[in-house]
């Protein structure tokens, strides 16, 4: 019982932080608010298709991945997940990169499991995140759809080209005793790049991507780019392969 609603909300937030992974959720509601919440839950349960996720508590559990959206389905391990996160995970697992970006034979040798595919002495990984600078301001919101599509496709091709060049220059030859290439692309699309790789090559990889990204955009001669071309920024996190990373 807490008369201060803001303090109560903070208490609930902290409780959920530690208890969500145990299938327990807390809410702050009293009187009419609680009644409305229960009525909403009852309606949702009646509308939920067979086999979909059903809460085991009086209120909805959040997605186990994003911790924001309400969970709608369960995975094979019975963990709750929303449909958006579920579709993203499936897309990543099913992704086959274009052969112009990575050779298919290379893709089969990428690090897929940090426990099984790395040598015992390989204890650290580098997580790289890169994002184009101010690309959203280069095209007006009211621009025709065909111009937006043309711009998006061009940026995507420049990104893929830059990653492919950096990969071939710094990472392709790095095979461990298990025949695996110490590289795992997680997201390469638009102007976004997320990948796991050999820590000692992460900085060289990012610098090459920056150079190729700028050079290729200047060569394109697109009407939205000036003579300076596009730029991209990145960050590198080096962490023990067994530690969680948020």
Residues with Cβ within 8 Å of residue 18, at least 6 apart in sequence: none
Q: CB-based burial of residue 90 (10 Å sphere; 0-12 exposed, 13-18 middle, 19+ buried)?
A: exposed
Q: What is the pLDDT of residues 150-189, one digit of tens each?
A: 888 889 899 999 999 999 999 999 899 999 999 999 888 8
* Count of other CB atoms within 10 angstroms of residue 230: 26
Quick one: pLDDT at residue 179? 92
Query: Under a CB-based contact definition with an 8 Å cutoff, are residues 111 and 124 in contact?
Result: no
Quick one: pLDDT at residue 94? 61
Residue written as tokens 């790789």?
A: 197
Query: Under a CB-based contact definition with an 8 Å cutoff, are residues 119 and 177 in contact?
Result: yes
Q: What is the pLDDT of residues 22-65, one digit of tens each?
A: 556 666 665 556 666 666 656 655 665 544 444 443 335 778 77
Share of the chain above pLDDT 70, in %: 70
Verdict on whether the full-model pTM lies above 0.85: no
What tokens appear for 139 in the block? 């095209």
112 — pLDDT class (breaks 50, 70, 90): confident
Task: Please check the confidence at residue 97 and state whether its pLDDT lies above 50.
Answer: yes
Quick one: pLDDT at residue 54? 41
What tokens appear for 239 in the block? 């962490």
Residue written as tokens 């590198």?
A: 236
pLDDT, greater one: 68 or 93: 68
């Amino acid at each position: 019982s807490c008369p201060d609603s803001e303090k109560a909300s903070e208490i609930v937030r902290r409780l959920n932080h530690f208890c969500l992974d145990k299938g327990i959720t807390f809410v702050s509601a009293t009187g009419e608010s609680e009644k409305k919440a229960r009525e909403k839950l009852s309606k949702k349960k009646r509308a939920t298709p067979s086999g979909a996720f059903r809460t085991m508590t009086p209120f909805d559990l959040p997605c186990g991945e994003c911790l924001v959206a309400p969970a709608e389905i369960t995975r094979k391990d019975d963990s709750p997940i929303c449909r958006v996160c579920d579709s993203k995970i499936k897309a990543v697992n099913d992704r086959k990169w274009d052969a112009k970006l990575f050779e298919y034979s290379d893709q089969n040798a990428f690090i897929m499991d940090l426990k099984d595919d790395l040598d015992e002495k390989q204890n650290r990984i580098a997580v790289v995140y890169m994002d184009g600078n101010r690309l959203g301001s280069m095209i007006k919101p009211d621009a025709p759809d065909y111009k937006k599509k043309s711009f998006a496709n061009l940026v995507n091709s420049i990104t893929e080209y830059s990653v492919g060049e950096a990969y071939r220059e710094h990472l392709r030859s790095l095979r461990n005793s298990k025949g695996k290439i110490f590289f795992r692309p997680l997201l390469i699309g638009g102007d976004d790049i997320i990948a796991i790789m050999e820590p000692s090559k992460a900085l060289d990889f990012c610098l090459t991507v920056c150079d190729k990204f700028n050079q290729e955009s200047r060569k394109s001669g697109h009407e939205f780019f000036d003579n300076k071309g596009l730029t991209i920024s990145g960050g590198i996190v080096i962490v023990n392969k067994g530690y969680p990373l948020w």
